[in-house]
Amino acid sequence: MASHHRTKVISLLVFGWALINILLPMDQSVAESTFYWHAFKGDTAHTGQYDQLSDKKLALHWRYFFRGDYANPLQVVDDKIFFLDRSGFVCCISRMDGSELFRVQTDEKRLILGMDVSRDIIVVSTGPIFTRRGIEEISCVLYAFSFQSGEKLWQKKINVILVTPPIISGSKIWIASGKIDPTFSKTTGGDLICLNTQNGEVLYQTEVEDYAFYGNYLTMSDGIILSQGLKFDMASRNQRPPRLFAFAEETGSLLWEQDPLDETRMFGTPSIKNNFVYLTENPGFFGGSRRKPEAWLLKIDLQTGKIVSTMNIQNENFGNFSPTLSNDAIYINSFTGKIYSIDYQMDRIYWVKEFDRFSYFTELTASRNLLYTCLFNGDVIAVSKADGNVQFRYRIGNYGGIPVVAEDQLLVTGDVLYCFSAKAEPILYTEPTRLQFEQLQYGEVKQLSFRVIYTGLDKMNGTVSCSETWLKVRPDTLSSNIQTCFVSLDSSLAPSGTISATIQIETDHGTKSVLVEAEVIMPIPLPLEVNIPESNLLVNTKTFMILGQSEPLTKIYINDWMVFANENGRFSHVVTLKEGVNHFQFSAISKDNRKAALDRVIQLDSIPPDLFIESVERVPDTLTYIIKGVTERGATIEINEEVFEMEEDGRFSIEFEAEEDIHEIEMKAIDPAGNITSRLVHI
């Protein structure tokens, strides 16, 4: 039973965490002349309504390639588009042509939750650090970046395990957090936190007991903030469905709370319009066999929390989808693949249209005449609000996000970011706008490609070039309106470390550039040492043992012989030398194909030096003798352990002083190889 409860709780937490990717809000204090569309369906009330007519005749305007499988919902401010890609980057691109304005990384280790944008600041919330062993650090971090440049302004750590995406209004930021005890078996409360946009300073913090806030974006309208909390205690098997909390925006004081009508159910994401909250109540994870295949739509007074009216919908599950509150009706898409059009009195359903399943990351967006959403099969569709019939369909790939209607444009993320427009003028663009070669080992050659696209009907001509020798682009001329170029990076010609280059595209319809980024990793040199010095080795014996050192289990080639280094990297080999110069080539190849090479010479001189005594004279009345002769060049003469140097040609004249009157002395000639020739010199 405990395992069953644990499974349900974990499933709910995973469900809550996954839902963080769905949407974002809007600052309603901006001037009417400024176009704002925030990630959670346009505004902080989550209405999802764009109050203008949409044109049914849309054409593809441009595409932008982002990193990762999918992107967080789009935010649009005037002519700029902001979003988080799933590799942890904040992206800012132009709405006019899809060109990249800046891209900055938040935190490569943390889970990316969501962001909000105001005229001055971008705020991103991130979750704990996860590793294969579990949660490495139980904390969440808020990052603030400049709206204009993407420059990092500040960051704020919050020591909790759960946090919602942020919303910004004026000079304030709001998030809600959730706390769990160290054993992860019990929620211990949550907070609504209000921070200053200038520095992240906490302005107020309102705590609720037992319930941990999680997942969804906050909903804000008319001075009230809504957030959902989850409560569970595995020890007492006390698990509660999400509870809806309402706080005063100005002070953070708790105004009211609302549980689902049936304790076996879950709330969806609320939307607010005309001082009423609209949200769904769906089959949950808490009732086991008591779950019913039905859902409810609730209408709640925003100020009091009182339920005004309800609508029961049989055999349905809206999950976390948020109602889209258009001017003419309430629209909801469901997990069963249906779209519902419902009147605001909630006493009738205008129409129901059934499709394939919807993308998990999508929502309904409404203009005055059309609804936009994405299907699980990879299509974005435009549906007539009058009858639910499809007016427009385009293949965008998996993970379709929330469509955004921005003036004459339709923006939506799928496998890339798509921009459709009814007034699409011919433009020149590249896809992608940036090539990421990632890490390359030195010597590795890698190829990527990009396309140069001109959307006009007249022919495009131009050139493609790059000044870096380590980067080759082909072809280097453009002769068609859609042309693929292949970029080859030879890391053996590039400097080590982080490198970048710009590919310039010059055409008769304008210029573009593609940024290339890579990191060249220089391999650790393979060590190779032998007991033969670089200055050659002179020996006098025909047998020589070569001793060396490299990495363990490396292949060592000594001329035509191969040996293996042992587990300590040591190796040895006995060679037989010929008289004179012996050349040796050493090469090593490691398991990962790194190489090292040495050239060494051993000279064998096993022939003793000649030693000729030409004369021996005694200085009168002394024990001093002068010995003259000749020996091998470079040799030395040794008498009674005293060493005498020779002239360059090997001749010598040694003045030797004996300690007593003697009749003979022993002379040794020792050549550089250590060979010795001895002579007895009679006096």
Q: 133-146 pLDDT, tens per residue? A: 777 788 999 999 99
For tokens 């001055």, what's the residue?
A: 120
d(CA 65, CA 91): 11
CB 681 within 8 Å of CB 611: no
Verify that 552 and 479 share a domain, yes or no: no
Residue 536 above 50 pLDDT? Answer: yes
pLDDT, residue 398, reads 86
CB 385 within 8 A of CB 329: yes
* Residue recorded with tokens 């395990």: 161
The two three-digit tokens of residue 596, written as one number? 């090292």
Contact 155, 142 (CB under 8 A): yes
Mean pLDDT of 349-358: 93
Last residue of a domain, one of 496, 521, 546: 521
pLDDT at 292: 62
Residue that terminates a domain, selected from 603, 625, 655: 603
Q: Which of 573, 570, 578, 569 is nearest to 545 (CA)?
A: 573
Contact 621, 635 (CB under 8 A): no
Q: What domain range is 12 assigned to?
A: 2-425
Cα-flanking dihedrals φ and ψ of residue 28, to 5°? -85, 0
The whole-number average pLDDT for the span 189-218 is 94
User: In total, how many domains does the chain have?
Assistant: 4
Classify 6 as helix, strand or coil.
helix
Q: Which helix (DSSP H) or strand (DSSP E) does residue 7 occupy?
A: helix 2-18
Residues 377 and 498 in one domain: no
Taking only the tens place, the pLDDT of each residue in 81-130 is 999 987 789 999 999 989 999 999 998 888 889 999 998 999 999 988 87
Burial class (CB in 10 A: 0-12, 13-18, 19+), 156: buried
pLDDT score of 153 more than 50: yes
* pLDDT per residue as tens digits for the range 405-450: 998 899 999 989 999 998 888 889 898 889 999 999 888 999 999 9
Q: Are residues 480 and 356 in the same domain?
A: no
User: Are 53 and 60 contacting, i.e. CB atoms less than 8 angstroms apart?
Assistant: no
Residues 459 and 386 in one domain: no
DSSP 211: P
- pLDDT at position 457, please? 66
Give the residue carrying structure tokens 């569709």. Answer: 381
Q: What's the pLDDT band for 384 if we cut at 50, 70, 90?
A: very high
* CATH number of the structural domain spanning residue 468: 2.60.40.10
CATH number of residue 175's parent domain: 2.130.10.10
CA dist., res. 477 & res. 483, Å (int): 10
How many whole angstroms separate alpha carbon 457 and alpha carbon 459?
A: 6
Contacts of residue 204, Cβ cutoff 8 Å, sequence gap at least 6: 193, 194, 251, 252
Cα–Cα nearest to 295, from 279, 277, 273? 279
Contact 459, 507 (CB under 8 A): no
Is the CB of residue 22 less than 8 Å from the CB of residue 320? yes
Same domain, 288 and 403: yes
Q: What's the predicted TM-score (pTM) here?
A: 0.67
pLDDT value for 240: 77
419 and 434 within one domain = no
Of 610, 600, 678, nearest to 639 (Cα)?
A: 678
Judge whether 339 and 385 are in contact, CB under 8 Å.
Answer: no
Say how far apart CA 267 and CA 258 lie, in whole Å: 10
Phi–psi pair at 87, nearest 5 degrees: -100, 10
The answer on 102 and 199 residing in a single domain is yes
Q: Is 231 left (phi over 0), alpha (psi -120 to 50) or beta?
A: beta
Average pLDDT over residues 217-230: 95
- Is the predicted pLDDT of residue 397 greater than 90, yes or no? no
513 and 535 within one domain: no
Determine the 3-state secondary structure of 54 from DSSP. Answer: coil
Given 577, 603, 629, the domain boundary residue is: 603
State both tokens at 610: 């000649």
Q: Do the beta carbons of residue 270 and residue 320 sit within 8 Å?
A: no
Which residues touch 72 (CB under 8 Å, ≥6 apart)? 21, 24, 39, 83, 84, 85, 86, 112, 114, 115, 401
Domain shared by 246 and 109, yes or no: yes
Please tell me the predicted confidence (pLDDT) of residue 660. 77
Residues 131 and 38 in one domain: yes
Instruction: Please tell me the predicted confidence (pLDDT) of residue 45.
Output: 94
Q: What residues have CB less than 8 Å from 216, skipping those under 6 apart? A: 16, 19, 20, 22, 164, 227, 228, 269, 320
pLDDT score, position 265: 86
Query: 287 and 163, same structural domain?
Result: yes
280 compared with 283, residue with greater pLDDT: 280
549 and 443 both lie in a single domain = no
Give the distance from CA 133 to its chain's centroid: 20
CA distance readout (Å), 461 to 474, 480, 487: 15, 7, 19
